[in-house]
Amino acid sequence: MQIFKTVESLNGYLDGCRERAQSVALVPTMGGLHEGHLSLINKAKECADVVVVSLFVNPTQFASGEDFEQYPQSPGEDIENLQQRQVDALFMPQIADIYPQSQESDYDVGELGQILCGISRPTHFKGVAQVVARFFDIVKPDIAVFGEKDYQQLTIIRELAKRKYNTIKIASVPIIREPDGLAMSTRNNYLSVKERARAPLFYKALREAREELESGADIALAAKRALAALSKSFVVDYVEILDANTLTEITHKSEEIIIISAVRLGGARLIDNIVFRRANV
């Protein structure tokens, strides 16, 4: 695995790959890698000849008072994991490389960025779109791979690619879970032992909501019961049942449903979702 710390050195490497007609996959990460991230790399290796992974904690997606300074980082372990997965290139840029002073771009993510997580984190998705666009401009990948745990983020990135980067294919990978059902996340490291024992109740409540819906329950009633169940163990940011393709209200045309939620447990903010095909469509 080759490690690049500047845009120029990475571009020199990628120019050589393209001269050899090799396709390039990008897996953007903020480090603190776990099996969820590594599943993205496995997908990237299936889809392209060369896999580029980035490690960059992006300041623009953190609001004042959030955990930018405390975000868990383990670069030594990350490099070892990436080497074991036979990643071709690791990009570890500085903030000045990603955000040069001369860069000016409009990253309006529209209504998709103002709902769900965007209500409590109003600047978050603008920052996500900004850094993803920057990586797309630098790497110019044929394919980029993202996880489905951050489903709202994935939806916004797909719209970004459709609008500005239509030569880049966006691939996604299902949520990777711990044996007890908790979605893997770098921020799970914030949980105390007692909190970690309680955390699987998050996914359990979403599964129960799905079972209710599949049994014919009313959508509004299922959402209300999920909120009540989650509120017993968590501080609930939101829990919604929506059209999975648009993140809008379910209509008779909706083919897939998403149960999507964010909660707080101690010092950790957890997100999760379940996507399933609607019955009788």
Pick from 227, 189, 183: which is nearest to 208 by CA? 227
Please work out, in degrees rounded to the nearest 5, the angle formed at the alpha carbon of residue 219 by the alpha carbons of 217 and 221.
75
Is 212:267 a contact under the CB 8 Å cutoff? no
Residue of 34, 37, 124, 252 marked active site: 37
Q: Which residues pair with 173 in a beta bridge?
A: 147
Q: Is 124 one of the catalytic residues?
A: no
Q: What is the Cα Rg of the chain in Å? A: 19
Parallel, antiparallel, or unpaired: how do β-strands 24-29 and 256-265 relate?
unpaired
Q: Which residues contact 104 (CB under 8 A, 6 or more apart)?
A: none
Is 10 in contact with 137 (CB distance < 8 Å)? no
Residue 4 to residues 54, 75, 85, 124, 163: CA-CA distances in angstroms? 9, 14, 17, 27, 29
Q: Tokens for 243? A: 């059209």
Question: Which residues participate in catalysis according to the annotation?
Answer: 37
